[in-house]
Amino acid sequence: MNTNKLSDSLKELSLENGATAPKKTSKPKAAYDKIALRERWKILGTDPEQSILSMIRKACMNTFARKDFFKILQMIKHSFVQRDYEGIFTEAINLEVYTAAYVPGRALCYFEIFCRPQLLKFLTKRSRIYCVGSGSGSELTAIAAAMTRVPAEYQQVGLIMQDIGDYKSVLDSLESTIREKWLLSQEQLQCTYEQSDVLDPENHEIDARLQEADLITFMFVMNELFVKKAAAMALIQKMVETMKKGAHLLVVESAGSFSHLKVGDKTYMVYMLLDAIQDLELVVGEDSRWYRYAMLSSE
């Protein structure tokens, strides 16, 4: 620090010109109740991942009990290979099976992501999170679980989930099980579900959501949207133009060929397109990452 800067700092502290030194204040108190936070950590128990799986198992109990569960699952897998997303996500019966089969793994992986400090900060305060293509509930599960890791005092998360599929009953079941098991009040976590097409240019609710969100997520949905390239590009452009300053965008995609995007005779990864957008600043980025759940519990 040079002498001018030092003297300016001293003036600010009123130490110059014989002014009395500021009284020593006692150590600032933590802005949250540490004991209460320690109690909150107990909500997910000693094995948070197993708690997440148990919550999903309870919420999807009836679906797991279906006799045709594996038959439907096989059909869904086949449609994925064909990239026939509409075939999967517009058939009501497929949605529940899809959730029960795919959400457990995703929710664990997303829990780890939402527990990172760059995202956890949105879960400690008043914030709006807009999750595109989130009807099956992985985002709801992961966000709710991560919310138990931070103080509750100022927690007021408005979670808006949008999906083209009719996931209302799936999300209702997950939400009520989450509230019962993880003790999250309506004030702490407010959930809204909208069944609509995010690529619909006539839906002006989407514009408002993009503008108001502190965090926008696209988790395993970008490559599906890019089946309709022009409409997907228009959405990204609108988002970049309207996002508020400081808002974050979270994109999680397959690191494999599912994320290939053909433009002319060239093939790109979907994320390359986002990386090329100059108005966005990268906060954290990883090309690929494995999430492994270490062991299977017998619970």
Ligand X SMILES: C[S@@+](CC[C@H](N)C(=O)[O-])C[C@H]1O[C@@H](n2cnc3c(N)ncnc32)[C@H](O)[C@@H]1O
Sole window of 47-55, 134-142, 172-180, 283-291 interacting with ligand X (rule: CB under 6 A): 134-142
Which is closer to ligand X, CB of 163 or CB of 214?
163
Query: Does 212 interact with ligand X (rule: CB under 6 A)?
Result: no
Query: Does 199 interact with ligand X (rule: CB under 6 A)?
Result: yes
Q: Strand, coil or helix: what is 216?
A: strand
Query: Does 194 interact with ligand X (rule: CB under 6 A)?
Result: no
Query: Does 106 interact with ligand X (rule: CB under 6 A)?
Result: yes
Sole window of 29-37, 54-62, 196-204, 267-275 interacting with ligand X (rule: CB under 6 A): 196-204
The residues that bridge with 263 in the sheet, in sequence order, are: 266
Which is closer to ligand X, CB of 11 or CB of 229?
229
Alpha-carbon distance of 240 to 237, in angstroms, equals: 5
Compute the residue count for the chain: 299
Alpha-carbon distance of 107 to 137, in angstroms, equals: 8
Query: Does 164 interact with ligand X (rule: CB under 6 A)?
Result: yes
Q: Is residue 212 a contact partner of residue 127, using CB atoms and an 8 Å limit? A: no
Which is closer to ligand X, CB of 103 or CB of 150?
103
Cα 295 to Cα 16, 47, 49, 50, 298, distances in angstroms = 64, 11, 10, 10, 10
Q: Is residue 162 a contact partner of residue 131, using CB atoms and an 8 Å limit? A: yes
Query: Does 141 interact with ligand X (rule: CB under 6 A)?
Result: no
Query: Does 104 interact with ligand X (rule: CB under 6 A)?
Result: no
Q: Which residues bind ligand X (CB under 6 A)?
A: 85, 89, 102-103, 106, 133-136, 138-139, 162-165, 197-199, 219-221, 224-225
